[in-house]
Structure 1
Amino acid sequence: MDQKLIDQINEKTAIVDLVSEFVTLKKTGKNFVGLCPFHQEKTPSFSVSPEKNIAKCMSCGEGGNPINFFRKIKNISFEEAAAELAERAGIEVKKINVKKDPYENYYALMSEVANFYEFNLRHSEKGLEALRYLYDRQMTDELIKHFRLGFAPSYGSTLYQVLKNKNFSVSDMINLGVVKQSDQGDYYDLFSDRIIFPITDAKGRVVGLSGRTTHPKEPAKYINSPETIIFKKGMLLYHFNEALPEIRKLKQVVLYEGFFDVISSYGAGIMHGVATMGTALTKDQAKLIKSVSPSIIIAYDGDQAGLKASDHAIPILEKEQLKIEVLTIPEKMDPDDFIKAYGPEAYEKLFGEFTEDSFQFRYRYYKIGKDLKNANDLKDFKRQIVSMVQYVDSSIRAHYLSRLSTEFSIPIAELDGLKPTKDKEKEPIKIPPKERSKMPSKYEQAERFLIMAMLRSKTVSRKVMNALKSSDFAEVITASIRLSIDHYYDDHVEMNLDHFLDTLNTEQRDVMENTIMKDIIWKKNLPLDDVEVDKYITLVILANDHRRFMYLNHQIETLQEVSEALVNERDQLKKRLDKNKEEASNGSWKDHTTAH
């Protein structure tokens, strides 16, 4: 994006008016102050200067010019923030080169599906019955609206007909799993006679759905929409986007198991909760939590299954170096049941009285169901505790081995000699040895070279950010480093590599130190001029086009009904790919990865 255009957008956006949409401001002298929206505080330290047209927190340092403030508060890309503010300011949006998301039609369809179910909850006889069920569960209208709860009618193809009348593609409906096709060729809705929970991604877009029955005899309590190109359950957390403002204020996430736990907790004042949607925590979900918060409270159900799930989640979260606490709900209840039984005040008190760090929790949990006077049970318990402290700080290790030694009269030397239990999740992260003979592809090299160029120049960094989206990168970790560089330049004029490395998580730092910074071009500090940067950008786009082409080709070959738009997109991509290959063979651009 042209710097003049960026400056124009910032100049035409009054920072005071913009911040006032999210923060209550009070005039003090030339400036305005309010409570920081990015962290919890009691004394206002978020200062807004109309003269300089910037905002900054004097405590945590967050803020920036209008575009940067808006990007951070809304959790959107720089381009998206600039485009929205430009539209508000009456600046021609066409001037802004914001790439169209290839799945825009999917997001539009899922949004329409959520709207339909939300409307049906209050405008149908069966929907009103479901609404009364929610009221009986102490759900208020405010909660129902915030979480966009809906209802799927029991008529077989109502949603299908609504979407078809709105000219949505049948193949898209099937791809997203909201409509299915029978052996006879008829189309019918996936969800029937169920309360609907829309599931959003990190940007707040509806990407999936879960349907809960209200009938106690129904064998499947929940049915989820299938995994799709935009809905990958193990990479998402329920209510993540909606909880972000509160998470950033408190610098903490509360992790639940189910939808109603999150909803009831939100109504009880715990508004920074997310859920794994009834499945075990994944590494991707842990990384998502780490990206927005340094600490977490696990608030799973208080029964044996919930305690076991907490024990499973802890080592996954430990790998992300999070501060971990565990809330054990009394009487083997889940959070939703506890709130209904004892009320919001009693629930809030639990967070002070029943939370413990992850080591205290496991020391207590590993005793459950064991007769510690029995030699075999005691042996198992000892090994579990030794395993728990194997890779932790020496002071924590010493404390728990000493506690174990004192409680069971076991010499410390004996505990030090114990082998820990085998648990893959608790093993340290092992970096496999690099295969020297296996060179990365030219596309992987292109991504790495762009990272190098971004590290050397803020101008180049902005150029790459404007030209490419995270989804253009084949390597997820490289895409995340790209975003980290951009965020670093928001607050720094030049790159200080040591300081920047300190801001990265373990996986990002490993890729930086063991891959990118070991590259010959980085080591020799070889120049990367603008022409080469443009070529690397082209290579990354070409690779993404190829991946998209292969996906579309597969869809067209396997679907029973294919939309014309899908075929047209595939054909256009084919032409573009053929043109790029022809230019490459004619020498219009060289293989950049071997240029040096």
Structure 2
Amino acid sequence: MMIVNNNNNLISEIKNQVDLVEYIGQYVNLEKKGKSYLGLCPFHNEKTPSFHVNPEYKVFNCFGCNKSGSVIDFVAEIENKTIKQSIQQLAKHIGVEVSGVTEAETPESQMMEMHAFVTKMYHHVLVDTREGEQALNYLINRGFTLETIKSEMIGLAPEKKNFTTELLEKRGMNLELAVRGGLIGRNENRNDYYDKFRARITIPIKNHQGAFIGFTARTLGSDHPKYINTSETNIFKKQQILFNLSDARRAIAESRELIIMEGHLDVVKVKASGVKNVVGLMGTALSDTHINTIKTVTDNVTLMFDGDEAGRNAQFKHGEKLLKMGLNVYMLSVPDGLDPDEYIEKHGEEKFNYFVRNGKTHAVKYMADQLIDDSRSNDIRFNENIKFLKRMLSYVKDPILLQRLLDDVSELYSVSPELLATSQSRVPNYPNNNQVVPRVSSHLFSRDFKEIQLLKIFLTDPDLMMKNKEFLSSEIFTSEVIYSIFRKLVFYYETHGTIDLSTFQSELETHEQEELQKIKQLKINDGVNQSIIDDYIDDLSGIRNSKKERELLSRQLKIAQQAADIDEIKRLTEQYRIISVRHKN
């Protein structure tokens, strides 16, 4: 490694050796225009590209916000670093050792240093110790190679009490800062520290610049919640971070496409299969900040969520938001109700890669396909769904693509393209909270309130919750946010032995905090007992609703028979059989 002492020589060396187009291309989707390259500015929101990169003069310049400079200035701006830190980063990039350049540590940089240290120790426990054998075998049996486990620095937070706390203390690290960084917690009653992660496989989370800032941790057993994330900190903000973006930048730039997924282990598995342009959400929320970040690297987004109903509903929700923000949106719906990891295990990497390359459907076409059954059986829903699809079509700006989508939806719904296109420019731009997004498969009667009531009971009587936790799954709590709060509530109670609502609420994600605040205000009757809980579980499991479900399927089957729709008759008959087996009365 070359060592450089003179700062001026080092700057010259960086400018000469760093390929400016290639480096900035990791962050911005660039197109060659004459002697320069053009893209959307990463420093301000814009729809028309005004960000220029000139490889001859080794400078960038945005004519929209007037930011300009060398690759050093770009790194300082894009990664919120000082000039000295940018020089150090770029020197490392070209293999030059910097002598005599130091930077004062900030609390945030110390938190990242702690996370890097703990990530290495968890990884060591997983791959090098007897305690990690069970977790390592579990991962290998799920199809993760040792090479992937090592490259992703997957680890194991051991069962041992205070393992992380003691490691940090022996290392001479500030425990209060570790609390603020989300690595450990503090018990206010006993005034001592405890580990946030125990007996869990850890998947490290990096910020968009590649520094370790948190973990997703998966239980090894049947504990709930199955997954927990680092709580919100100064360096880890779920509304700002896309999992794996720092590693995916180059693949996104090359493919001109970004694929969004749900589970972080799924992202790792898909990445190992050869599909590198994948990122994951932190939970289920897709924020405006996320979308603005996406727009700096590509205009093409594909949503690949689980193949179950919850995954399809999430694709609807996020698909509309991305379309509205001017992106080209596509869907990959994993067949047979599988998640991507399961699909790879069942069919192999080659078939999965073929599916990713060739299985994409434009978001509007996907939505139209998903809503057609609902529309055929109910005239009111037909009208609502047509209005919804007209709104989706209004977001499509490419005239050729729009014409094709109009033809597809028109044929599917037997409605003229002219009617679908009528007054598109006058479709109101409703705020998100007023927009009605159709459910992919409408429930037979509203269950949301009962799920909320059941959670409220558990907030006030955790003993009832613990007695029934084995019977409560995502089939009972079908609301993603309610189920997430429930799982975290069980974990909190098992960890602390009591429920301090204020402390518990502070550890939730923002949208979960808002939901919990509403639930806390709900009043329930006194005298709730196990018999009432049993009634709720029976109701929410679908046992009582199966009769209504079969009645609706019977009506839909009659319509299909009248239309002589053989495929629809087969599909509905199979649904009827499954429901009858699942809910025998």
Identity %: 22
The 5 A counterparts of 1:284-295 are: 284-295=289-300
For residues 171-193 of structure 1, give each alpha carbon's deviation from its aligned partner in whole angstroms, at most 9, with x where no partner exists: 11221222223332332211110
- Report which stretch shifted further, 5-14 or 281-290: 5-14
SS in 2 for 1:207: strand
Secondary structure at 2:376's aligned position in 1?
coil
Task: Report the alpha carbon displacement of residue 129 of structure 1 after superposing the two structures with TM.
Answer: 1.0
CA-CA distance at 1:152 after TM superposition: 0.7
Q: Using a 3 Å threshold, how does the CA distance of structure 1 residues 83 and 316 change in structure 2: closer, same or farther?
A: same
Q: How does 1:348-359 map to 2 (within 5 A)?
A: 348-359=353-364
Correspondence 1:425-464 to 2 at 5 A = 425=432
Shift of 1:252: 1.9
> Would you say 1:153 and 2:154 are equivalent positions?
no
Other-structure match for 2:12: 11
**Residue 196 of structure 1, CA deviation:** 0.5
Give yes or no for contact 1:386–1:401 (8 Å, CA) kept in 2: no
- Give the deviation of 1:164 after TM superposition: 0.6
Change over 3 Å in CA distance of 1:63–1:169 after alignment to 2: farther
Provide closer, same or farther for how the CA distance between residues 140 and 397 of structure 1 changes in structure 2, counting only shifts above 3 A: closer
Counting only pairs closer than 5 Å after superposition, residues 9-158 of structure 1 correspond to structure 2 as: 9-12=10-13, 15=16, 65=58, 68=70, 76=79, 77=81, 79=83, 80-84=85-89, 88=96, 92-93=100-101, 101-158=106-163
The equivalent of 2:44 in structure 1 is none
Q: Which amino acid aligns with 1:374?
A: N
1:222 to 1:63, Cα distance in 2 relative to 1, 3 A: farther
Matched letter for residue 385 of structure 1: L
Aligned length: 393
Bigger drift between 5-14 and 111-120 goes to 5-14
Deviation at 1:81, TM superposition (A): 3.2
- Residue 249 of structure 1 deviates from its aligned partner by 2.4
Is 1:340 matched with 2:341? Answer: no
Q: Select the residue among 354, 376, 379 that pairs with 1:375.
A: 379
The one-letter amino acid of 2:157's match is A
In structure 2, distance between residues paired with 1:229 and 1:73: 21
SS in 2 for 1:389: helix
* Per-residue CA distance 1:257-279 (angstroms, 9 max, x = gap): 11121111111100121100332
The RMSD of aligned alpha carbons is 3.9
Q: 1:424 aligns with which of 424, 428, 431?
A: 431
- Structure 2 residue aligned with 1:188, among 180, 190, 194? 194
What SS does structure 2 have at the residue aligned with 1:237? coil
Is contact 1:152–1:191 with CA below 8 Å preserved after alignment? yes
> What whole-Å deviation, never above 9, does each CA across 1:291-331 have from its counterpart, x for those lacking one?
22232221111222111111111232234432222111111
Q: CA deviation at 1:141?
A: 1.4
Find the partner of 2:392 among 380, 388, 392: 388
Change (3 A) 1:319 1:91: farther
| 2-structure distance, mates of 1:13, 1:230 | 28
What TM-score results when the alignment is normalised by the length of structure 2?
A: 0.59
| Deviation per residue, 1:421-454 (Å, 9 max, x gap) | 99633999xxxxxxxxxxxxxxxxxxxxxxxxxx
Matched AA of 1:424:
P
Separation in 1, partners of 2:311, 2:225: 20
Distance in 1 (CA, whole Å) between partners of 2:397 and 2:163 is 58
How many angstroms apart in 2 are the aligned matches of 1:129 and 1:394?
Answer: 52
1:185-217 deviations in Å (ceiling 9; x for gaps): 3322111100011111111111111210121x2
Q: Which whole-Å CA distance do the structure 2 matches of 1:273 and 1:227 have between them?
A: 23
Aligned AA (2:432): E
Q: Runs of 5+ in structure 2 lacking a partner?
A: 1-5, 36-51, 60-68, 436-502, 504-585
| Counterparts of 2:295 and 2:55, CA distance in 1 | 18
Q: How does 1:500-519 map to 2 (within 5 A)?
A: none
Deviates more, 1:223-232 or 1:67-76: 67-76
Query: Closer, same or farther in 2 for the Cα pair 1:376/1:130, shift >3 Å?
Result: same
Aligned to 1:280: 285
- Does structure 1 retain, via aligned residues, the 8 Å contact 2:29–2:297? no
- TM-score for both structures, normalised by structure 1: 0.58
